[in-house]
Chain A
Amino acid sequence: MTASPESASGVEPTAAGSGGSMPHRTWRGLRHFARRSPLSAFWGGVAVVIVAMAVAAPAIAPFDPLKSDFRRMQKPPDEINWFGSDQIGRDTLSRVIHGSRTSLTVAMSAVLLGTTLGCFWGLASGYLGGRFDIISQRLIEFVQAFPDLILAMAIAMALGSGTVTVIIAIAITRIPFGGRVIRSVVLSLKEMPFVEAARSVGASRTRIMLRHILPQCIAPFLILATTHLGVAIIIEASLGFLGVGIPPPAPTWGNMLADALNAGIVPPWWLVLFPGVAITITVLAFNLLGDGIRDMLDPRLRGSL
Chain B
Amino acid sequence: MYSYIVRRFALGAITVLGVSVIVFLIMRVMPGDPLTAIFGPEGMTKLTEAQRLSYMKELGLADPLPVQYLNWLGDIARGELGRSFFRAESVGEMVLRRGPLTAQIAILSVILSWILGIPVAIVSALRPNTIADNTARITSITCLAVPGFWLGMLIVLGLLFWFGYRAPQTAAGASIFEEPWTLFQMIIGPAVVLALGQAAYIARMARSSLLEVIREDYVRTARAKGLNARLVVRIHALPNALLPVITLSGILLGFVLAGSIPVERAFGTPGLGYAMYTAVNERDIFVMQNLVFLYAVVFVMLNILVDIIIAWLDPRIRYQ
Instruction: Give the B-binding residues of A (Cβ under 8 A).
Output: 138-139, 141-143, 145-151, 153-155, 157-160, 230, 234, 237-238, 241-244, 257, 260-261, 266-267, 269, 272-273, 275-276, 279-281, 283-284, 287-288, 303
**Across the interface, do B154 and A154 meet the contact criterion of CB distance under 8 Å?**
no
Which of B17-25, B91-99, B170-178, B218-226 participates in binding chain A?
A: B17-25
**Across the interface, do B261 and A280 meet the contact criterion of CB distance under 8 Å?**
no
Indicate which residue in A143, A150, A157 contacts B261 across the interface (CB closer than 8 Å).
A150
**Is B114 at the interface (CB under 8 A from chain A)?**
no
Contact with A along B125-156 (1 / 0, CB 8 A): 00000000000000001101111011101100
**Across the interface, do A157 and B280 meet the contact criterion of CB distance under 8 Å?**
yes
A150 to B255, CA, bound (A): 10
A145 to B288, CA, bound (A): 16
**Is B275 at the interface (CB under 8 A from chain A)?**
no
**Across the interface, do A147 and B295 meet the contact criterion of CB distance under 8 Å?**
yes
**Is B160 at the interface (CB under 8 A from chain A)?**
yes
Contact with A along B254-266 (1 / 0, CB 8 A): 1101110110011
Q: Most chain-A CB neighbours within 10 Å: which of B151, B160, B280, B285? A: B280
17 extra interchain contacts, Cβ-Cβ under 8 A, other than A157-B288, A158-B30? Answer: A138-B18, A141-B18, A142-B15, A146-B292, A149-B259, A150-B261, A154-B26, A158-B285, A159-B31, A241-B262, A242-B261, A242-B277, A244-B281, A273-B154, A276-B150, A279-B147, A284-B142
Chain A, residue nearest B31 (CB):
A159
**Across the interface, do B30 and A147 meet the contact criterion of CB distance under 8 Å?**
no
Shortest CB-to-CB span from A97 to chain B, Å, is 18
**Across the interface, do A158 and B32 meet the contact criterion of CB distance under 8 Å?**
yes
A287 to B197, CA, bound (A): 14
Shortest CB-to-CB span from B256 to chain A, Å, is 8
Shortest CB-to-CB span from B45 to chain A, Å, is 14
**Across the interface, do B283 and A146 meet the contact criterion of CB distance under 8 Å?**
no
**Is B73 at the interface (CB under 8 A from chain A)?**
no
**Across the interface, do B292 and A237 meet the contact criterion of CB distance under 8 Å?**
no
Q: Which residues on B sit within 8 Å (CB–CB) of A275? A: 150
A164 to B106, CA, bound (A): 33
Interface residues of B in 225-279 (CB under 8 A from A): 254-255, 257-259, 261-262, 265-266, 276-277
A281 to B150, CA, bound (A): 13
Known: A154-B26, A287-B141. A149 touches B153 (CB 8 A): no
Interface range on chain B (Cβ under 8 Å from partner): 35 or more
Shortest CB-to-CB span from A154 to chain B, Å, is 5
Indicate which residue in A147, A160, A303 contacts B32 across the interface (CB closer than 8 Å).
A160
A154 to B295, CA, bound (A): 12
**Across the interface, do A159 and B30 meet the contact criterion of CB distance under 8 Å?**
yes
Shortest CB-to-CB span from A299 to chain B, Å, is 13
Chain A, residue nearest B33 (CB):
A160
Q: Most chain-B CB neighbours within 10 Å: which of A158, A267, A284? A: A158
Q: Which residues on B sit within 8 Å (CB–CB) of A149? A: 258-259, 261-262
A213 to B41, CA, bound (A): 46
**Across the interface, do B280 and A146 meet the contact criterion of CB distance under 8 Å?**
no
Shortest CB-to-CB span from B301 to chain A, Å, is 10
**Is B206 at the interface (CB under 8 A from chain A)?**
no
Known: A158-B32, A159-B32. A272 touches B150 (CB 8 A): yes
Indicate which residue in A145, A269, A280 contacts B146 across the interface (CB closer than 8 Å).
A280
Indicate which residue in A141, A151, A155, A272 contacts B30 across the interface (CB closer than 8 Å).
A155
Chain A, residue nearest B22 (CB):
A142
**Is B37 at the interface (CB under 8 A from chain A)?**
yes
A151 to B258, CA, bound (A): 9
A279 to B153, CA, bound (A): 14
Chain B, residue nearest A168 (CB):
B30
**Is B208 at the interface (CB under 8 A from chain A)?**
yes
**Across the interface, do B262 and A242 meet the contact criterion of CB distance under 8 Å?**
yes
A279 to B208, CA, bound (A): 28
Q: Most chain-B CB neighbours within 10 Å: which of A138, A143, A157, A287? A: A157
Can you show 26 pairs from A to B with CB atoms below 8 A apart?
A: A145-B16, A145-B18, A146-B296, A147-B255, A149-B259, A154-B27, A158-B37, A234-B147, A238-B149, A241-B266, A242-B265, A242-B280, A244-B280, A257-B149, A261-B153, A261-B265, A269-B157, A272-B154, A272-B157, A273-B154, A276-B150, A280-B147, A283-B145, A284-B145, A287-B144, A303-B208
**Across the interface, do B150 and A158 meet the contact criterion of CB distance under 8 Å?**
no
Q: Which residues on B sit within 8 Å (CB–CB) of A230? A: 144-145
A284 to B277, CA, bound (A): 27
Q: Which residues on A sit within 8 Å (CB–CB) of B319? A: none
**Is B161 at the interface (CB under 8 A from chain A)?**
yes
A151 to B21, CA, bound (A): 13
**Across the interface, do B280 and A153 meet the contact criterion of CB distance under 8 Å?**
yes
**Is B122 at the interface (CB under 8 A from chain A)?**
no
A257 to B149, CA, bound (A): 9
Chain A, residue nearest B29 (CB):
A158
A303 to B161, CA, bound (A): 41
Q: Which residues on A sit within 8 Å (CB–CB) of B145? A: 230, 280-281, 283-284, 287
Q: Which residues on B sit within 8 Å (CB–CB) of A147? A: 254-255, 257-258, 295-296, 299
Q: Which residues on B sit within 8 Å (CB–CB) of A141? A: 15, 18
